[in-house]
């Protein structure tokens, strides 16, 4: 049940989520397609000339970014993803050696990679921090590839979304995050009441016969306020949240709504910069600027 094995199993189909022709036909909502659009807007606003990515997947996002003239490089923990990524880079006239196979929790490997590639205008990590155990160490790993004054883009699974799901995730958030310092007797009463009010049997866990489904590996949610504090503690300023993967209704009742109408409502919400994204979105990106000193 390793992160690498999970993504090894996804490598051959990974590019499909970024295919504009499949936005309406993919069974799963193409949230990463809209995430890439968001990232490209942020890179344009930052006037970035170079980008390093921790967790490149099959490098489809990096290839798209490179078409605008930005120098790209990155790494991934999955051997299959790296194989696809290097092939993808080469087929688009880009240097396949810009992609490295490494574990972002391996400090020795990270240091060697930093010495090899240098620093960049922007460092990003999409879908990686859920799979690491030490948030501060991961932000430090990102920081090592970023020049002073550069920009960090850090994607996370949004724990605040659980306040809109009315399921076991809501119960876990209330008990484990809101009521952490409350007397256990009170917590027990709250837990029993939540069991009666919420669909605590949902959502179903995402599994695979091979035992490396997404919910069978380390796949953490993050509180956006706490994660922003970790970023600031590493010497970052101008911290902003950008939300994506909107839900116009809580997911467990989406099957009661016409599928096309529901997806249209999701797409129409993408790009909404308001506070509502903190509750309607299952994912977000923290953008922050590294101090010049």
pLDDT digits (tens, 9 = 90+) for 215-251: 888 899 999 999 999 999 999 999 999 999 999 999 9
At residue 90, the pLDDT reads 98
SS3 label, residue 289: strand
Q: Is the pLDDT of residue 208 over 90?
A: no
Residue 165: phi, psi to the nearest 5? -95, -25
Mean residue pLDDT of the chain comes to: 96
* 16 alpha carbon, distance to own chain's centre: 17
Q: In what order do the strands lie in the sheet with 236-246?
A: 99-101, 71-76, 50-54, 120-125, 146-157, 281-290, 236-246
At residue 209, the pLDDT reads 85
Which domains can be identified in the chain, with CATH numbers?
Answer: 3-161+209-290 (3.40.50.150), 166-202 (no CATH)
At residue 291, the pLDDT reads 95
SS3 label, residue 144: coil
Q: Is the pLDDT of residue 1 over 70?
A: no
| The pTM of the whole model exceeds 0.85 | yes
Contact 80, 54 (CB under 8 A): no
**Preceding amide of 193 cis, omega within 30:** no
SS3 label, residue 206: coil
Q: What's the CA gap between 45 and 289, in Å, rounded?
A: 13
At residue 212, the pLDDT reads 85
Q: What is the mean pLDDT of residues 168-196?
A: 97
Q: What's the CA gap between 235 and 97, in Å, rounded?
A: 31
84 pLDDT tier (thresholds 50, 70, 90): very high
Q: What is the mean pLDDT of residues 68-84?
A: 97
Contact 240, 286 (CB under 8 A): yes
């Amino acid at each position: 049940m390793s992160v690498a094995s999970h993504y090894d199993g996804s490598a051959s189909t990974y590019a499909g989520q970024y295919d504009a022709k499949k936005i309406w036909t993919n069974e799963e909502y193409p949230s990463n397609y809209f995430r890439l659009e968001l990232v490209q807007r942020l890179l344009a606003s930052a006037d970035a000339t170079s980008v390093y990515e921790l967790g490149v997947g099959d490098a489809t996002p990096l290839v798209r970014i490179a078409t605008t003239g930005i120098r790209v490089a990155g790494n991934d923990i999955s051997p299959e993803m790296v194989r696809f990524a290097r092939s993808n880079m080469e087929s688009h006239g880009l240097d396949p050696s810009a992609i490295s196979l490494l574990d972002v929790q391996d400090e020795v490997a990270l240091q060697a990679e930093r010495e090899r590639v240098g620093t960049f205008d922007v460092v990003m990590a999409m879908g990686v921090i859920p799979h690491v155990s030490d948030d501060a160490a991961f932000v430090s790993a990102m920081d090592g590839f970023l020049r002073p004054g550069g920009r960090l883009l850090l994607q996370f699974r949004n724990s605040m979304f659980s306040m809109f799901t009315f399921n076991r995730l809501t119960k876990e958030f209330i008990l484990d995050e809101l009521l952490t310092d409350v007397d256990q007797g009170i917590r027990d009463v709250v837990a029993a009441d939540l069991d009666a009010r919420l669909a605590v049997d949902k959502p179903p866990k995402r599994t695979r016969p091979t035992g490396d489904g997404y919910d069978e590996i380390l796949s953490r949610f993050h509180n956006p306020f706490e994660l922003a504090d970790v970023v600031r503690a590493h010497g970052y300023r101008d911290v902003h949240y950008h939300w994506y993967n909107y839900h116009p209704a809580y997911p467990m009742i989406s099957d009661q709504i016409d599928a096309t109408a529901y997806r249209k409502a999701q797409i129409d919400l993408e790009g909404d910069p308001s506070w509502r994204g903190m509750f309607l979105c299952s994912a977000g990106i923290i953008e922050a600027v590294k101090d010049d000193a």
